[in-house]
Amino acid sequence: MTIGTEEPQELQASIISYVKDLPNLCSLAGLACTILAIYFSILGVYYAAMIGMIWAVAFDWADGLIARRMKGRTGSDRIFGGQLDLVIDIVSYGVTPAILLLSYGKFDPIFLPLAFIVLSASAIRLSYFSTFGLSDEAQYTGLALDNNSIAIVFVFLFESVFSNGIFSVVLYVSVIGLAVLNVSQIKTPKLSGNPINVCLLAFYTLGMTGIYGWKLL
């Protein structure tokens, strides 16, 4: 007589139940900011788009910090949250800059290759990270995509300083340069995992929100 030794499997939770997880709510708040950034980029209200882009990064960093400090999260919660982050990242850090480039170029088809390069670099970068994770030195291989938005929001401060033609070159060169760094072999630290860096980003986000909010008035 054989005695069964199988352990009861964990019941599979419903899809929508993961929305109640606080880090996932934070991720979705970042996605909402990303939608606003895309919307205002299409309309050509770039200062508002910058506010949406930097708040998307702030929520992205906050959800990781919250997830690490929360107790009682299951393995399924962590896996789901990680996958949700990856999907949102491709929209926040790939689709959004690509649309920004197209919009600033008045949606001229000549800028489609640049948008494709930016989006492709983001997809490749995220696929590489999801496959290999951090390096042996606990660092990223290639520049993490969240740094792109932080840099673009800073670069756009000079949009009113230069003529439209000159700033277009500055913007396109900056974004393509970031895309190259994303898929390079350089080692960069994981800034989002440090509470001090999260606080610095919070000040940066509030400062940029104030500056761009003032420019919108």
pLDDT tens per residue across span 24-74: 899 999 999 999 999 999 999 999 999 999 999 999 999 888 877 777 677
* pLDDT tier at 193, thresholds 50, 70, 90: confident
**Whole-number Å distance between alpha carbons of 173 and 50:** 18
* Domains of the chain listed by start with CATH number: 18-216 (1.20.120.1760)
pTM equals 0.90
- Whether residue 152 is predicted with pLDDT greater than 50 in this model: the reply is yes
> DSSP letter string over 1-29?
-PPP-PPPPPPPPPGGGGGGSHHHHHHHH
Is there a contact between 75 and 126 (Cβ–Cβ < 8 Å)? Answer: no
